[in-house]
Structure 1
Amino acid sequence: MGRITDTVKGLLIINIIFFVGSLSLGNNAFEWFALWFPKNDNFQIWQIVSHMFMHADAGHIFFNMFALYMFGSHLEGSIGQKKFLFIYFFSGLGAVGFQILFSYFQFSPGYQAYLDAGFSPSEINTFIQNTVTSGQYKVYPNIPQDVTENMIGAYVTPMVGASGAIFGVLAAFAVLYPNLPLYIIFIPIPIKAKYLIGGYFLLDLYGGITGQAILGPSNVAHWAHIGGAVIGFITMWYWKKNSFNDKRWY
């Protein structure tokens, strides 16, 4: 997609440094820098940003950084460094908002069910902590098992990765270059950016609604991808509609 820009190069280096550092720190890295559910004791405010530079494994960081390399420099060359960084980080924050909102939808019904069953907030917290420690929990009458599992899952599952920010970049790219032909490895037929990136968005939307992943692992934070894409799309659409007059944006 052309020469790599200094901004994209910097983001690649920071992500790689974080990944290598997380390997040396082990679980402590995820405890400190992954984004935890706000009610989890591990949650810290800086995780809203730091999680964007954490990745679960080599495959995770490779595909995110490959997408950043392929699309980021081209996008930045068209809109300038400041607007590119705005889309990148604002999309990452949008991903946080969507994913945390989804986690609350998972957590709240179970929490309320235990309150209705006569548990105090401190007793619910003790129940969750014991479940996390032992990996087992007692099934209480009138509280569906899936409700408890959703509550525990939302509490213990951290969010990591630049995927939300990357999806914002992809969505912005599709808005700016909707008809640019793109190629997928092993498929020798060009696909317009709006169809390829839009199709990937629809797959994530399906995964977010159904909880079933068509592509990729089952633990993908689909709503984070959706949130990042929505923010990137809206931001780029607004700029293109109101500011694009055959001149660069800086």
Structure 2
Amino acid sequence: MRQSIPPITKNLLIINGLFFLATFVFAQKGIDLSVILGTFYPESPNFKFWQILTYMFMHAGFPQITHIIFNMFALWMFGSVVEYTFGPKKFITLYFLAGVGGFLLYNLTNYFQIEQLKEVIQTQGISLADLYDYSRLNIQGQLFNAPEDFKSSKEGIQLIQDYATPMVGASGAIYGLLIAFAVLYPDEKLMLIFFPVPVKAKYFIPVMVLLEFYMGYKNVGNIAHFAHLGGGLIGFLLSRYWKKNLYRRN
């Protein structure tokens, strides 16, 4: 019989739900919370240090409500098991470090793309300082109007988008839990709704990781695939290390 939801997992579910509701409450007042609590590329004028943590509690709103539904379902299913196994202190450490790991790997991959864009833009005679200034978002989440010389440069437009697009979601932290679950219980069987065939975690999770890497490399969809991989990497390293000294309590 399944145990009740452990305290840290339960509180994380509640906090995510409250943040999700808050986005709609503040939107009625003309405030886009993703500008304040989502996270941006560290060089962006919209980036604030606290966003490294707060972005994990923000999710896309309607019509992408499946974003928070899938994340919270995975948090409940895998987080509960990982918390019962490692205990609350190690669980919360894994969760937040995986989220930070997602932020770091995602922005590391962005760094190379953005530096290439900046080189091209400079050859076009466009001021990076002006572009930086026009990448600022107001509290409603809207860009200030860019001058015409930016609009004639697809690289300039792309850089503005990179500076002004927030990353939101608990997916990096969730992937840390998924990988930790697979390390702890490799022979447990999992399955997807659209692929209802039970597969052992030690095979299922690596396939998911390979798919994430491929989709990240091909830049498939409006999804931070490398944030998932960064969180998964932290989850793998921590769970492997902790499992060596793991003991079961009665």
Q: What secondary structure does 1:14 align onto?
A: helix
Partner of 1:17: 18
Q: Is the 8 A contact 2:134 2:145 kept in 1?
A: no
Aligned to 2:168, which of 134, 157, 160? 160
Identify the match of residue 37 of structure 2 among 18, 33, 57.
Answer: 33
Instruction: Say whether residues 1:65 and 2:69 are aligned partners.
Output: no
SS in 2 for 1:169: helix
2:205 is the counterpart of 1:203: no
Measure how far apart 1:206 and its partner are: 0.6
| 8 Å Cα contact 1:128-1:152 kept in structure 2 | yes
1:53 aligns with 2:57: yes
> What is the match of residue 151 of structure 2?
138
What's the counterpart of residue 103 of structure 1? 110
3-state SS of 1:45 partner? coil
Quote the residue 1:89 is aligned against. 96
Gaps of 5+ in 1: 213-217
Asked if 1:44 corresponds to 2:48, the answer is yes
Alignment length (residue pairs): 236
**Residue type at the aligned position of 1:184:** L
Seen in structure 2, the aligned counterparts of structure 1 residues 182 and 128 have a Cα distance that, compared at 3 Å, is closer
Q: TM-score, normalised by structure 2?
A: 0.85
Q: Tell me the residue number matched to 1:114.
A: 121
Q: More deviation in 54-63 or 162-171?
A: 54-63
Unaligned runs of 5+ in 2: none
Q: Which moved more, 1:15-24 or 1:190-199?
A: 190-199
Q: Distance in 2 between matches of 1:149 and 1:120?
A: 13
TM-score by length of 1: 0.85
Between Structure 1 and Structure 2, the one with more helix by share is: 1
Shift of 1:106: 2.2
Whether the 8 Å CA contact 2:44–2:132 is kept in 1: the answer is no
Q: Give a deviation string over 1:153-211, Cα, whole Å, max 9, x none.
A: 32121100100000000011111111111233364431111222222211111111111
Cα pair 1:106 1:154 within 8 Å, conserved: no
Quick one: structure 1 residues 188 and 46, their matched pair in 2 at CA, closer, same or farther if it must change by over 3 Å? closer
| Counterpart-to-counterpart distance in 2, 1:186 and 1:127 | 43
Report the AA paired with residue 44 of structure 2: N
Instruction: Say what the alpha-carbon RMSD is for the aligned residues.
Output: 2.3
Query: Structure 1 residues 189, 124: CA separation in 2 closer, same or farther (over 3 Å shift)?
Result: closer
Pick from 185, 189, 201: which aligns with 2:193? Answer: 185
- Structure 1 match to 2:245: 243
**In the superposition, relative to structure 1, how do residues 126 and 76 fare at CA in structure 2: closer, same or farther (>3 Å)?**
closer
For residue 182 of structure 1, give the secondary structure of its aligned residue in structure 2: strand
Q: Residues 176 and 236 of structure 1 are in contact (CA less than 8 Å); yes or no, is this contact kept in structure 2?
A: yes
Distance 1:206 1:160 in 2: 21
* Cα distance in structure 2, aligned partners of 1:204 and 1:103: 16
- What secondary structure does 2:151 align onto? coil
Quick check: 1:194 aligned with 2:220? no
Which sits farther off after the overlay, 100-109 or 114-123? Answer: 114-123
Partner of 1:215: none
Check conservation: 2:105, 2:230, Cα contact below 8 A. yes
Q: 1:164 touches 1:225 (CA, 8 Å); kept in 2? A: yes
Q: Percent identity?
A: 41
